[in-house]
Every structure is written in structure tokens, then in C-alpha cells.
């Protein structure tokens, strides 16, 4: 014979927990975890920072092209980031001149030499718009073209429309 009371208890426990249990569950502390998987964790190298800063520069440029607002700190961070990327791209391009470029090399970033020229151009144009110089239509078109070529070489897991906070300054 089925014990109706115990079935009811069981149902309440498994399907519809009491309200206070739900509240307690919501209050349970859960630490957010982001970044590399445990097996891939390691110290950040210069190449990691270069690629991350380049991705940031792409986002900054796309935000500008989307006419998202700038502010004094945003302008400052664009200038700082563009300068870092420009200097690093110059050094990486010099390394290729010095050591030669091996298309099949597995270590390092190993982008084509022309990639670094494109990155330098992107950084210079970013500096220009961060300083308030307006880019004429043909320059914006060139900027977009350059940006798209760079984006083909680096990958993103989010689109700019996912970052709603960039639409306010």
C-alpha cells in the first residue's frame, strides 16, 4: 500500500521545495570562475598581452565606427593601448626581419610580416580618432577594411553588441 503522506513529502522535496529553501539556495555563495581551464593555467607572456591588447584595440575601433560615446578616460585608454600595440608590433616586425619568417613555425605568434604593418596602421588611426581628429568617409572605409583583415587573423568569442556597457560613457 502506498503511503500517500510520504509520497507527498517526497514530491515536495524533489519537485517543489519550500520557498525558504529556494531563497537559501539563492544566497549560497558561488564564486564566479573565468579564464583558462586548470590544465592550461600558466603565467601570462608578452604574446598573450599583445594579442589581448590587439583585441581590445579592435573593440575600441569598432565602438568608434559604431559611434559609441567616448569620454576622457576612454580616450586615454585608447591612446595608451594604441601606443603599446604599435611599439610591440614594430618590435615583432623587426624580429621577423632579423630572424626571418618561417611560415610553418609552431612557436610564437607567427603572423605574416604584413600583418604587423596592418596592426601599426590600425594603432595610428586609433590614436587619430582618440585625439578627436574626425576620419573622412574614405579613411573610415580603409579603417574598416584593415580591421576586417586583422579580425580574420584573431578570434573573438563575443560580438560588440554583447557589450552593452560600451554604449554609455
Partner 1 sequence: MREAAIIANVKIAVVDEDVIVRNFIVSTLMYSVNREILTFDDGFDAWVYFEESGFPDMVMADVNLQEIDGLALTSKVKKASPGTVVVLFSDLPGNETKARKQGSDAFLAKPFGVNELFNLVQTFVVEQDPADDPSTPP
Residues that bind partner 1 (CB under 8 A): 23, 26, 29, 31-39, 41-46, 48-49, 51-53, 55-56, 59-60, 71-74, 76-78, 80-81, 84, 156-158, 163-169
At 27, is the secondary structure helix, strand, or coil?
helix
At 37, is the secondary structure helix, strand, or coil?
coil
Decide whether 1 or 34 has the Cβ nearer to partner 1: 34
Burial 1-16 (b: 16+ CB within 10 A, else e): eeeeeeeeeeeeeeee
* Vertex 122 angle, CA 72 and 160, to 5°: 65
Rounded CA-CA distance 128/149 in Å is: 20
Least distance (Å) between residue 93 CB and partner 1: 19
Least distance (Å) between residue 1 CB and partner 1: 40
**How far, in whole angstroms, is CA 130 from its chain's centroid?**
19
Decide whether 110 or 142 has the Cβ nearer to partner 1: 110
Decide whether 12 or 76 has the Cβ nearer to partner 1: 76
Decide whether 10 or 151 has the Cβ nearer to partner 1: 151
Least distance (Å) between residue 16 CB and partner 1: 16
Decide whether 80 or 144 has the Cβ nearer to partner 1: 80
Rounded CA-CA distance 82/143 in Å is: 14
C-alpha cell at position 163 = 557589450
Least distance (Å) between residue 23 CB and partner 1: 8
Least distance (Å) between residue 117 CB and partner 1: 23
Cα dihedral sign for 93, 96, 102, 108?
negative
Amino acid at each position: 500500500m502506498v503511503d500517500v503522506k510520504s509520497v507527498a513529502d517526497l514530491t515536495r522535496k524533489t519537485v517543489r521545495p519550500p520557498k525558504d529553501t529556494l531563497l537559501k539556495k539563492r544566497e549560497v555563495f558561488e564564486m564566479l570562475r573565468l579564464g583558462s581551464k586548470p590544465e592550461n593555467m600558466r603565467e601570462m607572456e608578452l604574446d598573450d598581452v599583445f594579442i589581448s591588447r590587439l583585441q581590445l584595440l579592435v573593440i575600441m575601433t569598432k565602438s568608434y565606427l559604431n559611434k559609441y560615446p567616448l569620454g576622457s578616460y576612454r580616450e586615454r585608454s585608447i591612446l595608451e593601448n594604441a601606443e603599446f600595440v604599435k611599439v610591440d608590433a614594430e618590435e615583432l616586425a623587426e624580429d621577423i626581419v632579423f630572424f626571418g619568417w618561417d611560415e610553418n613555425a609552431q612557436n610564437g605568434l607567427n603572423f605574416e610580416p604584413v600583418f604587423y604593418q596592418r596592426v601599426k596602421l590600425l594603432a595610428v588611426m586609433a590614436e587619430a580618432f582618440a585625439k578627436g581628429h574626425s576620419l573622412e568617409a574614405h579613411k573610415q572605409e580603409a579603417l574598416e577594411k584593415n580591421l576586417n583583415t586583422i579580425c580574420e587573423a584573431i578570434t573573438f568569442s563575443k560580438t560588440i553588441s554583447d557589450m552593452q556597457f560600451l554604449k554609455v560613457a
